[in-house]
């Protein structure tokens, strides 16, 4: 193959790096791009860019290429670091290195002003070379490097020759010659034995000199001392665990004599091939006065993220960083290798080969222990390890010693044993023969089943891998129930769905009917908002022939699913059928749940009178089925309905009484539901954000402790607190409330949280991100009921600030269609007002293009008035119970005047004053900003300036509004 094309680069470190890479390519025999791509595990396009593109490649990709062509990664790393520095001649910054701040400072101090020996130790791939290289590149000291190699036979003083030759090449040997001139003549003669370049005019060294080695050591020390007298000098001996005996003796000599030349040695601490003599040398060195150590450990997740950012040149997704850190366990070498591959692409070839070499040729007892630990993928106690491996205690002890000696084992507290690194698991899996893994999984399942408190899901997983669905099914049921006990609903649902899958294949758990599986699966799917799964399970349940009690439970669940999916009328019919069946049955917890869900369906469709009637039936049932937990929950429902009468004081009294009712057993879901009800009442009563958060704090804390963060009631409670903070203008506090439920992208069960996060991001100035998030979240909401409609003003606000007026109008119209024809119209003031604002924005845009006519403006105004007047309940009338209704009413009338084009400053100031009374600064700022626009059109600059000044103060933490105020101020 001919030479690859080169980028046209100016003289400098980057061009030097590219030249060295092409030279290595030539010496490697011109391997093709596809060959290099195959050997490195990256695409041939990426390989081509490294050779030919003007951009500096990432170090991870470059390192793979250098290794594939047999080059020296350390040398190329120095070139890459130089090329990463500034090109304007300014001093090079500290080379990029992730974390290691304290360690880097320690090595740098030693190179600059230290004396004696500094040991840098750590396992293979921990970053010793990178650390010392980064420190060396950031100091003015000349750091001479010598490399120890793992050769088949010893080569005396090989790294010392490296050091001397590197020093000789500096300034065409002038520095070394000046140093030799300051030394006795024997120094040159002795050193020339290692550096033949000095022999031209040096006296020949004596043969068979009994003091030759001592003289050589003294000569090297003298030369280094003489050279350091004129220029700062330090030595770096790399991979000293492979050093020959003579090199170790020389290091001992240098350490034990006064010297101004600092010495840094890297040493691999877990290499099984290190001889006992080398280990003894290291131990003696650590105890020598003046010897310091820097022991490197794994990187933290944050440091791994930083390393990946340096390697890839951009920020990686948080989930990708976490996955790589879990697999690499903070080992920089493994991180760099994993970063070159997709998460599902297996291991890079070089890393796989490295791990395979670490596993080596294990056999007998040591292999049996290793494969059990690899298949288990976790640490095991002594008894389990013995049982699963089938070994006697003495055999297992010997095997464990072998694995520990080879650096493959880590002993934990309590004598548990585990593999030293997770990636060893993958290496062991690759070595397993067909059928071997299944046998080990079966033995592990049997051994783990005897342990107390073991997770049944783990045992089920081993039986699944062993190909025993009959045994797996039993443990999957136990796993589902265990997950439900700790409110891990996602795990519970996955387990029940697996049981159903096994059921369909003929593996039926003992003493169970299909109904016994469908009921908890349906309940769990509903709890976490998996509507499609709920629907499929409901259809399967409907097909069953059941006795009355079970049929009532089936109709209850299918009806609830239909209501959740938006088929409320059909769902309520089924709920009523279930209720009829219960008339012939004694009161039960199932009846209470049915009535509670029926009441919720009425509320979510704005049928409050029917919800009130349903409440009376619940209270009657409680007379016969007196359960403290249900009595407390129903009290919360009564409080919510009381709120709709406008009597907030009575509603709060009921809600707080429910919250403080003591129960014989904890009811964390009930706590969340009651806190959600109470905070909802507080919101409608315009309570401060701090009060709403205080009411929710304990329930939220318990919810997080019990894995209830993503439940529906948990989400509603968190949204209520967030909304209270947004109303108060505290955007930062609102964001903090949402963090636990918005760390990853929106899902069905977190969609409502992401809708609110969109409102937060908008106020933070991230308009595009807010728009994308809000739309993605809204697409996941299947049932456009009252819960959805109440959140639409926040979503529409995002659309409007993003300039997407038509999209906002479509959202608002759908929400109004859902709301105005029901008793929920009494809560529709925000929807009606924002709807008017959207029409005003649309006409304002049209007016800018001279397409809005007076006729059109009056038509829209009349249409909006008619819509509000045609509602089942006047959104701004006496039955509208929210204390913010007067402020919404004045804002609505001001927006109507904006539509007509006859708005007044006074109308907007009046609305702002109402918002001031409620301590809602952003809403007040919006109104004053609009009022200032009217004042400017009327030529009242002083009034406009005063309004904009107050608006700017109130609009803090609302970036788009603040920017709009600044733009309007520019017109005064």
Confidence label for 233 from pLDDT (cuts 50, 70 and 90): very high
- Mean pLDDT computed over 446-471: 94
> Which of 118-132, 437-451, 501-515, 844-858 shows the lowest per-residue confidence on average (mean pLDDT)?
844-858
Residue the block writes with tokens 């829209």: 860
CA distances from 69 to 29, 31, 35, 46, 357 (A): 9, 8, 10, 16, 20
Tens-place pLDDT, residues 135-187: 888 888 899 999 988 876 678 888 999 899 889 988 888 999 999 999 998 89
pLDDT computed for residue 851 by the predictor: 67
Residue of 561, 552, 571, 564 whose CA lies nearest to 521: 561
pLDDT computed for residue 67 by the predictor: 84
**Is the confidence at residue 94, as pLDDT, over 50?**
no
The tokens of 518 are what?
Answer: 């469908």
What do you get for the CA distance between the two ends of the chain, in Å? 71
pLDDT computed for residue 392 by the predictor: 92
pLDDT computed for residue 269 by the predictor: 83
What long-range pairs does 889-894 form, CB within 8 A, spacing at least 24?
889/829, 890/914, 891/833, 891/915, 891/923, 891/927, 892/829, 892/832, 892/833, 892/836, 892/868, 894/927, 894/930
> Which of 416-425, 454-463, 883-892 shows the lowest per-residue confidence on average (mean pLDDT)?
416-425
The tokens of 743 are what?
Answer: 């760390």
**Distance separating alpha carbons of residues 742 and 735, to the nearest angstrom:** 10
Cα-to-chain-centroid distance, residue 107: 33
**Distance separating alpha carbons of residues 414 and 959, to the nearest angstrom:** 55
**Is the confidence at residue 98, as pLDDT, over 50?**
yes
Residue the block writes with tokens 């290195």: 97
Is the separation of the CB atoms in 704 and 486 below 8 Å? no
Residue of 518, 588, 585 whose CA lies nearest to 547: 585
Is the separation of the CB atoms in 608 and 641 below 8 Å? yes
**Is the confidence at residue 90, as pLDDT, over 70?**
no
- Mean pLDDT computed over 564-577: 91
**Distance separating alpha carbons of residues 306 and 660, to the nearest angstrom:** 48
Measured in residues, the chain has a length of 972
State how beta strands 417-419 and 409-411 pair. antiparallel
The overall average pLDDT reported for the chain is 88
Q: pTM for this structure?
A: 0.67
Confidence label for 211 from pLDDT (cuts 50, 70 and 90): low
Question: Percentage of residues in the chain with pLDDT exceeding 70?
Answer: 95
Percentages helix, strand, coil for the chain, rounded to the nearest 5?
A: 65, 5, 30
pLDDT computed for residue 92 by the predictor: 42
Cβ atoms < 10 Å from Cβ of 536: 17
Residue with the larger pLDDT of the pair 171 and 965: 965
Confidence label for 725 from pLDDT (cuts 50, 70 and 90): very high
Cα-to-chain-centroid distance, residue 290: 44
Residue with the larger pLDDT of the pair 77 and 165: 165
Tens-place pLDDT, residues 571-604: 999 999 999 999 999 889 999 999 999 999 998 8
Residue the block writes with tokens 């004694």: 586
Residue with the larger pLDDT of the pair 661 and 923: 923
CA distances from 51 to 142, 200, 309, 349, 475 (A): 30, 41, 22, 21, 55
**Is the confidence at residue 87, as pLDDT, over 50?**
no
The tokens of 267 are what?
Answer: 């040493």
Q: CB within 8 A of 673, min separation 6: which ones? A: 633, 636, 713
Tens-place pLDDT, residues 749-788: 789 999 999 999 999 999 999 999 999 999 988 788 888 9
Is the separation of the CB atoms in 957 and 729 below 8 Å? yes
pLDDT computed for residue 695 by the predictor: 93
Any idea of the CA torsion for 620, 623, 628, 632, to the nearest 10 degrees? 30
Tens-place pLDDT, residues 283-307: 888 888 888 999 988 888 888 888 8
pLDDT computed for residue 209 by the predictor: 57
- Mean pLDDT computed over 687-696: 92
- Mean pLDDT computed over 373-386: 91
Sheet containing strand 117-122, strands side by side: 142-147, 233-238, 263-268, 117-122, 292-295
pLDDT computed for residue 849 by the predictor: 64
Tens-place pLDDT, residues 386-423: 999 999 999 989 999 988 888 888 887 778 898 888 88
The tokens of 273 are what?
Answer: 């091939």
Tens-place pLDDT, residues 40-55: 776 776 787 788 877 7
Is the separation of the CB atoms in 416 and 385 below 8 Å? no
């Amino acid at each position: 193959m001919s030479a690859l094309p080169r980028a046209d680069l100016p003289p400098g470190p980057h061009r030097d790096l590219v030249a060295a890479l092409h030279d290595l390519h030539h010496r490697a025999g011109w391997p093709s791009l596809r060959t290099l791509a195959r050997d490195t595990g990256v695409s041939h396009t990426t390989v081509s860019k490294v050779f030919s593109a003007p951009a500096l490649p990432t170090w991870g990709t470059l390192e793979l290429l250098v290794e594939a062509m047999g080059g020296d990664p350390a040398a190329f790393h120095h070139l890459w670091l130089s090329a990463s520095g500034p090109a304007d001649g300014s001093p090079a910054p500290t080379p990029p290195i992730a974390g290691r701040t304290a360690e880097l400072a320690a090595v740098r101090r030693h190179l600059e002003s230290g004396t004696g020996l500094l040991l840098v130790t750590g396992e293979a791939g921990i970053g010793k070379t990178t650390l010392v290289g980064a420190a060396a590149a950031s100091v003015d000291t000349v750091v001479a490097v010598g490399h120890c190699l793992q050769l088949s036979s010893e080569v005396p003083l090989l790294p010392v020759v490296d050091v001397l030759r590197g020093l000789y090449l500096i300034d065409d040997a002038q520095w070394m010659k000046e140093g030799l001139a300051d030394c006795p003549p024997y120094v040159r003669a002795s050193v020339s034995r290692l550096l033949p370049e000095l022999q031209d005019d040096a006296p020949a060294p004596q043969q068979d000199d009994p003091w030759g080695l001592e003289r050589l050591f003294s000569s090297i020390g003298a030369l280094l001392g003489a050279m350091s007298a004129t220029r700062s000098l330090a030595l770096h001996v790399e991979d000293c665990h492979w050093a020959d005996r003579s090199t170790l003796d020389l290091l001992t000599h240098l350490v034990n004599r006064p010297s101004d030349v600092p010495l840094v040695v890297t040493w691999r601490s877990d290499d099984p091939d290190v001889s006992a003599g080398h280990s003894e040398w290291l131990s003696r060195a650590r105890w020598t006065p003046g010897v310091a150590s820097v022991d490197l450990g794994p990187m933290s997740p944050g440091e791994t993220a930083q390393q990946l950012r340096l390697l890839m040149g951009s920020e990686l997704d948080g989930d990708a960083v976490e996955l790589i850190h879990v697999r690499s366990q903070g080992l920089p070498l493994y991180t760099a290798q994993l970063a070159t591959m997709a998460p599902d692409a297996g291991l890079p070839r070089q890393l796989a080969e490295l791990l395979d070499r670490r596993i080596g040729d294990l056999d007998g007892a040591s292999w049996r222990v290793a494969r059990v630990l690899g298949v288990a993928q976790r640490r095991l106690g002594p008894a389990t390890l013995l049982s699963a491996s089938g070994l006697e205690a003495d055999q297992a002890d010997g095997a464990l010693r072998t694995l520990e000696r080879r650096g493959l084992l880590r002993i934990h507290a309590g004598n548990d044993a585990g593999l030293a690194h997770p990636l060893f698991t993958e290496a062991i899996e690759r070595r397993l023969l067909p059928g071997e893994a299944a046998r080990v999984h079966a033995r592990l399942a049997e051994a783990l089943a005897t342990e107390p408190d073991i997770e049944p899901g783990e045992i089920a997983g081993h039986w699944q891998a062993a190909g025993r669905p009959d045994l797996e099914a039993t443990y999957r049921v136990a796993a589902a129930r265990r997950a439900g006990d700790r409110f891990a609903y996602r795990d519970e649902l996955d387990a029940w769905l697996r049981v159903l899958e096994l059921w369909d294949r003929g593996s039926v758990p003992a003493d169970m009917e299909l109904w016994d599986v469908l009921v908890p699966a349906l309940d769990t799917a509903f709890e976490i908002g998996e509507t499609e799964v709920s629907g499929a399970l409901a259809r399967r349940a409907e097909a069953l022939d059941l006795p009355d009690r079970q049929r009532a439970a089936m109709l209850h669940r299918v009806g609830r699913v239909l209501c959740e999916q938006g088929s409320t009328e059909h769902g309520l019919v089924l709920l009523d059928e279930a209720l009829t069946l219960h008339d012939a049955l004694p009161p039960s917890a199932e009846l209470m749940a049915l009535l509670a869900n029926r009441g919720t369906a009425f509320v979510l469709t704005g049928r409050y009178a029917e919800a009130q009637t349903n409440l009376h039936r619940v209270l009657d049932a409680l007379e016969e089925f007196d359960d403290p937990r249900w009595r407390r929950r129903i009290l919360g429902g009564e409080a919510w309905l009381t709120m709709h009468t406008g009597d907030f004081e009575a509603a709060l009294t009921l809600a707080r009484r429910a919250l403080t009712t003591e129960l014989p057993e904890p009811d964390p879901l009930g706590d969340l539901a009651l806190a959600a009800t109470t905070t909802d009442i507080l919101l409608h009563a315009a309570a401060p954000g701090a009060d709403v958060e205080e009411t929710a704090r304990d329930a939220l804390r318990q919810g997080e402790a019990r894995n209830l963060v993503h439940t529906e009631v948990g989400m509603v409670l968190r949204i209520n607190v967030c909304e209270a903070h947004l109303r108060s203008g505290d955007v930062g506090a609102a964001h903090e409330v949402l963090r636990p439920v918005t760390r990853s992208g929106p899902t069905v069960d977190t969609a409502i949280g992401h809708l609110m996060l969109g409102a937060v991001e908008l106020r933070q100035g991230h308009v595009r991100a807010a728009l994308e998030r809000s739309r993605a979240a809204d697409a996941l909401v299947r049932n456009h009921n009252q819960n959805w409609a109440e959140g639409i003003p926040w979503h529409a606000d995002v659309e409007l600030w993003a300039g997407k007026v038509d999209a906002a109008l479509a959202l608002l119209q759908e929400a109004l269609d859902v709301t105005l024809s029901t008793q929920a119209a009494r809560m529709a003031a925000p929807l009606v007002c924002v709807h008017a604002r959207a029409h005003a924005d649309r006409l304002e845009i049209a007016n800018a293009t001279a397409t809005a006519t007076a006729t059109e403006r009056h038509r829209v105004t009349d249409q909006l008035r008619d819509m509000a007047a045609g509602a089942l309940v006047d959104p701004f009338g006496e039955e509208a119970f929210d204390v913010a209704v007067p402020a919404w009413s004045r804002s609505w009338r001001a927006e109507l005047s904006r539509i007509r084009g006859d708005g007044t400053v006074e109308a907007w100031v009046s609305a702002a004053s109402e918002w001031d009374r409620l301590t809602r600064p952003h809403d007040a700022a919006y109104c004053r900003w609009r009022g200032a626009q009217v004042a400017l059109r009327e030529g009242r600059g002083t009034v406009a300036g005063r309004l904009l000044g107050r608006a700017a103060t109130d609009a803090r933490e609302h970036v788009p509004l603040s920017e709009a105020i600044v733009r309007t101020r520019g017109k005064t």
